[in-house]
Structure 1
Amino acid sequence: MKLYKIAAVATLALVLTGCASNQSDSKNYKDESKAALNSKPTHKHAKAKTSTNTSSTSSEASSSSSSSSSSAETKSNNSFASLSSQLASKLPNTLIPQASGMNASQPVNIKYSGNSQNSKITYSLGQKNLPLNSASASNNAYAVLTKKTYASASAAKQAVDFQPASSVKGLPKVSLGHSITGHTQSGAGQEYISWNEGRWSISVHGSKVNNTNPKSTAVSAVNMFEQYSLPAPESVGTVKLLAGDTTNLSQEVKFQKGNQVYTLKANTASAAIAMAASMK
């Protein structure tokens, strides 16, 4: 009987020990689960912070892009093409040069005065593109375009001072290339080469006194006329070039359109011809 009691007590002790162990394991599991649950907000916060940083970076990039775009737009609005477009709206029914006659990378600034009947447009070089009629634009023009309205088409035609081919007939001839023949005349140290192309009369003035030979300028002009087509005047047009001068707006293209006359003066023959050829 004693043995049975001892065995029973031992068995009971083992059962109680097992229960205590199970309760401890259960408690540890619950504590671990609770700790795991409590750790989740930390990861969530980190994710949110990363998202915020990404959003901030994206916002800064967008702002930088917007600033660059705005700067490019401002530059574009002051480009030669944009200024020419603005001129066309300010001076309706006026022929405007679409080419500056300068290197494409060279900033050109423009001022104008007058209206669609009578106007003056001044082109100057600058360090940067400026708005139309900017007070900061240089007054040292490399080209000036004027438009003048006359009482009649015949009065406008007379103002062009066109020289017909018959006026130089019989004068000494000089070959200028591209099957163009010029006629020379000289006196008092001055020398001229003249010729006609279509409705245009062209003359180049040189000076023996100043050692300026008109032939080289005339040949260059003929070559340019092969590259550029001058506007077709309704009646007449003239080109007057001065050899050796590149500073005094002494290169001139003038033509009639109805009762109006356009006169483009530039420092160089190349600028005058390129600008006049682009007028529309």
Structure 2
Amino acid sequence: MLPTNIPVEKNRYLTATTVSQTLNYKVNFYETTKTAKINSPSVSKGTLIATLEGIKYKGTASAKASISDYVQINAADYDEFVDLGHRIKAAEQAGLGHQQLLWNEGRWYIYLDFPSDSTFQTKDYPDSRQLAKDIVTYLDKNMLPAPQKIGVIKISNWNTSEDTTVQWQDNQTVYQISGRDPMTALKIAVAMKAK
């Protein structure tokens, strides 16, 4: 499974490095200022956009078990909620300088971790609550792949560790998209299509 579209800046080029084995594959997508052939040495001089991995397990149970971060939110377990629009409410929790927004959309669990102190917030997304609302709005209009059982989106919105992971199960295979920018990772996940 590969994305049908990867967002790149205007006047930039998309290229990649790839590794493929019988039960797994990995594609690093890069944005470059000049055209570069896939897997050529010049590719890594570009800016890494995201990494896509697919791993096939022996069975659906082991594939599901490999996604360890899934949580089904139970409203009774939380005191604070944030209205994200589109009839979605996120549970909010905080501690030790962290704040988290947690919510489910269908079979997906979405976890957004950000600093309590705005000094440590990313420049690209200085308002994490607004980022969560933007994610909900985007997902209201764009469909993620339907996981067979579960899918997890984890976003770290710290200036010291900007990282997003989108991971889901499709039968025996687990797909994972990793990247710095959460909206780019979501756009790539939405663009994933089977061959």
Q: TM-score range by the shorter chain?
A: 0.7 to 0.9
Larger Rg: 1
Is 1:196–2:104 an aligned residue pair? yes
Partner residue in 1 for 2:20:
114
Identify the structure with bigger relative contact order (alpha carbons < 8 Å, sequence gap 6+). 2
Cα distance in structure 2, aligned partners of 1:270 and 1:116: 31
Change (3 A) 1:236 1:104: farther
Is 1:153–2:60 an aligned residue pair? yes
Cα distance in structure 2, aligned partners of 1:102 and 1:227: 21
Could you tell me which amino acid in structure 1 is paired with residue 40 of structure 2? S
Q: Which has the higher strand share?
A: 2
Match of 2:43, SS state, is coil
Shifted more, 190-199 versus 126-135: the winner is 126-135
Number of residue-to-residue matches in the alignment: 185
Q: Assess if the C-alpha contact under 8 Å between 1:168 and 1:183 holds in 2.
A: no
Is 1:276–2:183 an aligned residue pair? no
Deviation string, structure 1 residues 21-66 (Cα, Å, up to 9, x no partner): xxxxxxxxxxxxxxxxxxxxxxxxxxxxxxxxxxxxxxxxxxxxxx
Match of 1:151, SS state, is coil
TM-score by length of 1: 0.61
Q: What are the ranges of 5 or more consecutive residues in structure 1 without an aligned counterpart?
A: 1-94
Sequence identity percentage: 25
Change (3 A) 1:227 1:101: farther
Is 1:225–2:139 an aligned residue pair? yes
Q: What are the ranges of 5 or more consecutive residues in structure 2 without an aligned counterpart?
A: 122-126
- Which of 166, 173, 195 matches 1:253? 166
Shifted more, 219-228 versus 255-264: the winner is 219-228
Change (3 A) 1:233 1:222: same
Partner residue in 2 for 1:9:
none
Deviation at 1:109, TM superposition (A): 1.1
Q: Assess if the C-alpha contact under 8 Å between 1:143 and 1:249 holds in 2.
A: no
Match of 2:42, SS state, is coil
Is 1:178–2:86 an aligned residue pair? yes
TM-score by length of 2: 0.86
Match of 1:165, SS state, is coil
Partner residue in 1 for 2:124:
none
Deviation at 1:132, TM superposition (A): 1.8
